[in-house]
Amino acid sequence: MSDLNKLGLAEARDALRKGETTSVELTEACLKAIDAADALNAFVHKTPEIALERAKAADERIKAGDAPAMCGLPIGIKDLFCTKGVPSQAASRILEGFKPEYESTVSQQLADAGAVMLGKLNMDEFAMGSSNETSVYGNAVSPWRRGNDDAQLTPGGSSGGSAAAVAADLCLAATGTDTGGSIRQPAAFTGITGIKPTYGRCSRWGIVAFASSLDQAGPMTKNVRDAAIMLEAMCGHDPKDSTSADIPVPNFEAMLTGDIKGKKIGIPKEYRMDGMPAEIEKLWADGAEMLRDAGAEIVDISLPHTKYALPAYYVIAPAEASSNLARYDGVRYGRRAQLAQGDGITEMYEKTRAEGFGHEVQRRVMVGTYVLSAGFYDAYYNRARKVRTLIKKDFEDVFAAGVDAILTPATPSAAFGLGEMTEADPVQMYLNDVFTVTVNLAGLPGISVPAGLDKQGLPLGLQLIGRPWEEGDLLNTAYALEAAAGFVAKPGKWW
């Protein structure tokens, strides 16, 4: 078989089971593609030895007829996941040199399911960003370009390396994390599928914390079937994470029938934003039409507190981040600043944190400490928490009225150029998350499915939001949408 790196998870799994290829061959094809794609800056720590060792072990298991769900399938892991003995820096200078003594639950579960880790993937520093431009490793670059224009585009963020790697076929799939949209937005920008499960589905243990009440891990894959396979391997109860839910994990793949007859799909009027490009409007309307043609009932709904979601998110997420990031002080792990004669512990903290954190992270820490300060706690943090409750209730009301899933655009635009937003006011960048943060605030599952191209030839995604714990049903609706949209475009190879 040729071009093995271009396969998806299900295709590769089936080929392995039939003996048409081996995990070592698949892994070598990916390693070769990775080495030829340094221009994308997607893989920031390559682990070929670990990969080949795991691939050999997987081939043995397959031969012995003992192949678990992801056996022998080569994937990339976002740098936010702690991986034992392998640099895990959250794309930050402050974690330079940090090699964890332990493995995150999710990456361990993937390894237990037989997956082969190819290396660690670029991302925004501490997962703060929407363009992968805050990374200490430099920008990840999208494999996509606008027509013949060779300007470099963002793959989205924060899981930009994961998105670029999957879209460019450097791996079969990758892990991502999503606090406000970091799986769904980069998936939409690069023409791949990404699902953020219900809060509590995946263990957060061993994933560097950004905003603990919002963070969730999820798969970034080439199609919906692959998302179902990989999500099942990633989720499940973990006693090491008190917010992980003790709820059985169904066989998500078995739920992909494509039958959505009688499902009620809500179209929330508040997501129709001023200044939204006509192409996005059209994509959204087309998506609704496709679901209707597949037998679903399309209903107009209202989620009245939507407009407060972004401001509430940008209070809550920095508040939690400022607390989570207090642990990086140069004492126990990571990088410590050079100290001058006479410097004490305060200077060590100050210098280490000033040098170790990039601008966006520092901005979030400052905003977070401000909104949590005694004088402003009620005005900002408590108010944002109340808004969050109202946003959650908006969704609960709609689901109680019989809506099964909600269809929205995934992003307000296609991918923008690297550097195009860096001079802008940071709020411009934050606006990227306008359709995705509501889902994290409410703890719901959300999936982005590639659904079309804009006039410059760039991918656009649609988001489906599901009921809590009903990822199987959500994946099935996404599967029907995927089949109807028939998105097959791939970026032209220039790297």
Query: Could you tell me which stretch among 31-39, 96-104, 121-129, 241-249 binds ligand GLN (CB under 6 A)?
Result: 121-129
Specify the residue for token string 């006693």: 239
Site string for ligand GLN, 154-193 (x = CB under 6 A): ----x-------------------xxxxx-----------
Report the DSSP beta bridge partners of residue 74: 116
Using CB under 6 A as the binding rule, whether residue 74 contacts ligand GLN is answered as: no
Write the single-letter amino acid at 441: L
Nearest distance from residue 312's CB to ligand GLN, in Å? 12
Q: Of 184 and 353, which has the nearer Cβ to ligand GLN?
A: 184
Report the DSSP beta bridge partners of residue 165: none
Q: Phi, psi (5° rounding) for residue 298?
A: -100, 125
Q: Of 179 and 438, which has the nearer Cβ to ligand GLN?
A: 179
Using CB under 6 A as the binding rule, whether residue 219 contacts ligand GLN is answered as: no
Of all residues in this chain, which one has the CB nearest to ligand GLN in the complex? Answer: 182
Nearest distance from residue 180's CB to ligand GLN, in Å? 3
Contacts (CB under 6 A) with ligand GLN, residues 373-412 = none
Using CB under 6 A as the binding rule, whether residue 317 contacts ligand GLN is answered as: yes
Using CB under 6 A as the binding rule, whether residue 202 contacts ligand GLN is answered as: no
Q: Could you say which of 226, 433, 470, 482 contacts ligand GLN (CB under 6 A)?
A: 433
**Total binding residues for ligand GLN by CB under 6 A?**
13
d(CA 288, CA 406): 10
Reduced to 3 states (helix: H, G, I; strand: E, B; else coil), residue 410 is coil
**Six token digits for residue 178:** 């999503």
Q: Could you say which of 67, 71, 128, 391 contacts ligand GLN (CB under 6 A)?
A: 128
d(CA 419, CA 411): 19
Specify the residue for token string 């990456």: 107
Using CB under 6 A as the binding rule, whether residue 358 contacts ligand GLN is answered as: no
**For 410-495, where are the E strands, in sequence order?**
446-453, 459-466
Using CB under 6 A as the binding rule, whether residue 197 contacts ligand GLN is answered as: no
Using CB under 6 A as the binding rule, whether residue 67 contacts ligand GLN is answered as: no
Contacts (CB under 6 A) with ligand GLN, residues 324-343 = none
Q: Is the peptide bond before 130 cis (omega within 30 degrees of 0)?
A: no
d(CA 128, CA 124): 6
Using CB under 6 A as the binding rule, whether residue 352 contacts ligand GLN is answered as: no
Q: Of 68 and 426, which has the nearer Cβ to ligand GLN?
A: 426
Write the single-letter amino acid at 322: S
Using CB under 6 A as the binding rule, whether residue 235 contacts ligand GLN is answered as: no
**Six token digits for residue 11:** 């295709």
4 Cβ neighbours under 8 A, 6+ residues apart: 12, 21, 25, 26, 29, 30
Q: Of 130 and 324, which has the nearer Cβ to ligand GLN?
A: 130
Q: Could you say which of 127, 165, 325, 407 contacts ligand GLN (CB under 6 A)?
A: 127
Distance, C-alpha 140 to centroid of its chain: 14
389 Cβ neighbours under 8 A, 6+ residues apart: none
Active-site annotation, residues:
78, 158, 182
Using CB under 6 A as the binding rule, whether residue 463 contacts ligand GLN is answered as: no
**Six token digits for residue 61:** 């298991």
Measured from the Cβ of residue 382, the count of other Cβ atoms closer than 10 Å reads: 13
Query: Which residues of this protein are in contact with ligand GLN, per CB under 6 A?
Result: 127-130, 158, 178-182, 210, 317, 433
